[in-house]
């Protein structure tokens, strides 16, 4: 019975040690989360250049809500998160209330807040540069998760494309004399 009790105590000790180690490592990750996000952003630059979108900079809106005469930002971006509560006003113009606000990553690997304003006729935007730390403060872990998903989905798509091309090439060369 003493051996069983000693084994049980040792197991309890191991569980406590692992829990303490896990808590310490979790805290270390939280302490460096913005650094991790910044490194992920740099790694995602090639993906953003390929799958990113040219976001609307300015456009007129008709009575049906359709945008016409649009102007777009020249660099491609991916959306990583949407603000639950947008800022009251844009930093470039206090007269422009923000209707929608997004965290985006540009093809240069830089984070921005894309702030849209609508005056009833014109949709206008402001691209507010932010760093990885501010992205975490404003949007939480959603930005890291969405960046991870974008990279994973792109890789999966590339693997499927490469497999399909391998099959086609194999078929072509198998049939060629």
Query: CB–CB of 12/111 below 8 Å?
Result: no
Max Cα separation, the chain? 83
Alpha helices in the chain (DSSP H): 2-31, 33-43, 45-51, 132-139, 142-175
Q: Which residues pair with 79 in a beta bridge?
A: 104
CA distance 129 to 117: 17
Half-sphere exposure of residue 50: CA atoms within 13 angstroms, side-chain side: 11
| Mean pLDDT score, 39-51 | 90
pLDDT digit string, tens, across residues 79-130: 999 998 999 999 998 889 999 999 999 999 999 999 999 988 889 999 999 9
Is residue 75 scored above 70 in pLDDT? Answer: yes
Q: What is the pLDDT of residue 177?
A: 46
pTM over 0.95: no
Q: What is the pLDDT of residue 25?
A: 55
Q: What is the pLDDT of residue 1?
A: 61
Q: What is the mean pLDDT of the chain?
A: 85
Task: Report which of 140, 136, 149, 146 is spatially closest to residue 35, judged by C-alpha positions.
Answer: 136
Phi, psi of 148 (to 5 degrees): -60, -45
Is residue 70 scored above 50 in pLDDT? Answer: yes
């Amino acid at each position: 019975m003493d051996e069983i009790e000693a084994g049980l105590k040792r197991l309890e000790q191991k569980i406590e040690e692992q829990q303490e180690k896990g808590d310490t490592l979790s805290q270390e990750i939280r302490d460096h989360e913005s650094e991790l996000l910044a490194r992920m952003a740099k790694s995602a630059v090639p993906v953003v250049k390929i799958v990113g979108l040219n976001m609307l900079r300015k456009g007129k809106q008709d009575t049906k809500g359709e945008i016409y005469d649009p102007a777009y930002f020249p660099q491609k971006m991916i959306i990583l998160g949407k603000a639950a509560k947008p800022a009251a006003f844009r930093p470039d113009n206090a007269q422009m209330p923000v209707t929608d606000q997004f965290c985006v990553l540009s093809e240069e690997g830089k984070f921005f807040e894309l702030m849209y304003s609508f005056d009833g006729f014109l949709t206008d935007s402001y691209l507010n540069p932010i760093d990885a730390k501010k992205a975490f403060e404003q949007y939480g872990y959603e930005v890291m998760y969405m960046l991870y998903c974008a990279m994973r989905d792109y890789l999966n798509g590339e693997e499927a494309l490469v497999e399909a091309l391998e099959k086609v090439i194999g078929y072509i060369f198998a049939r060629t004399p």
